[in-house]
């Protein structure tokens, strides 16, 4: 049984804990948080402060960073000095057998990932998202609930695709882009943009 330390206690963490609890071969052993006020010693699962992780190294096999915001998740990954990140896939998700999924990525309930897709490290494929065939998703990107990446879409690093957005076939979205909820992306997107609407149009430059 793989013992997993879950880093974070927010809503995203609650879903990941549920996923692990219903999976085969994985179990939450510890929950860590950098906010000391959130640590509850009477909780059913042992909760520790982030700076205590190394003290409890014998109690977990791997770590998942349960933080939904891309920049914060990346910062925590880089600061927590771990190299043993868990990949967590909900039992209700449908993932093609030839999909490549990076360490630390979570594939959430009722999502679908079709063949010949590559997903980077520390990504989130959120509830009910659909990733069609031959897609590429860069590290630290977040595909929100109900979003659809149609065939052969390429997503860069640190990209956020909003809830129920649709990315049309063959589109390239470069690094550090935010696509607003419900948007329809019909053309390639340059780096550091915020895009909204149908068809999606740039409204501002995203900060790097």
- Note the pLDDT tens digit of each residue in 141-160: 999 999 999 999 999 999 99
* Per-residue model confidence (pLDDT) at position 114: 98
- Domains by residue range for the chain, with CATH: 2-79 (3.40.50.20), 88-199 (2.160.10.10)
List, for residues 44-83, the tens digit of each pLDDT value.
788 999 889 989 999 999 999 999 999 999 999 998 888 8
Strand order in the sheet with 160-161: 88-89, 106-107, 124-125, 142-143, 160-161, 178-179, 193-196, 201-205
Tell me the percentage of the chain whose pLDDT exceeds 90: 84
Cα-Cα-Cα-Cα dihedral sign, residues 203, 105, 13, 7: negative
Q: How far apart are the first and last CA of the chain?
A: 39
Residues involved in catalysis: 133
* Per-residue model confidence (pLDDT) at position 40: 55
Residue 177: which of 149, 204, 147 has the closest Cα?
A: 204
Region 173-196: what's the mean pLDDT? 97
Give phi and psi for 55, each to the nearest 5.
Answer: -65, -30
Using CA atoms, how far residue 152 sits from 14, 26, 50, 134, in Å, is: 32, 32, 39, 5
* Per-residue model confidence (pLDDT) at position 34: 81
SS3 label, residue 16 = helix
The first and second tokens of residue 159, run together, are 């990209």
């Amino acid at each position: 049984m793989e013992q997993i330390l879950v880093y974070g206690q927010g809503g995203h963490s609650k879903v990941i804990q549920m996923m692990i609890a219903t999976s085969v071969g994985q179990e939450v052993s510890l929950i860590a948080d950098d906010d000391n006020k959130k640590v509850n010693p009477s909780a059913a699962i042992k909760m520790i402060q982030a700076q205590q992780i190394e003290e409890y190294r014998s109690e977990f096999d791997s770590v998942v960073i349960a933080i939904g915001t891309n920049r914060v998740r990346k910062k925590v990954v880089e600061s927590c000095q771990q190299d043993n990140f868990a990949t967590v896939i909900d039992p209700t998700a449908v993932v093609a057998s030839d999909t490549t999924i990076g360490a630390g990525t979570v594939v959430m309930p009722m999502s679908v990932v079709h063949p010949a897709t590559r997903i980077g490290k520390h990504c989130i494929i959120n509830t009910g998202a659909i990733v069609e065939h031959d897609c590429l998703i860069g590290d630290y990107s977040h595909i929100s609930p109900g979003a659809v990446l149609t065939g052969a879409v390429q997503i860069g690093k640190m990209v956020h695709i909003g809830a129920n957005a649709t990315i049309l076939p063959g589109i390239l979205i470069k690094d550090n882009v935010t696509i607003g909820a419900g948007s329809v992306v019909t053309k390639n997107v340059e780096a550091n943009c915020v895009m909204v609407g149908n068809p999606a149009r740039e409204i501002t430059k995203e900060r790097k």
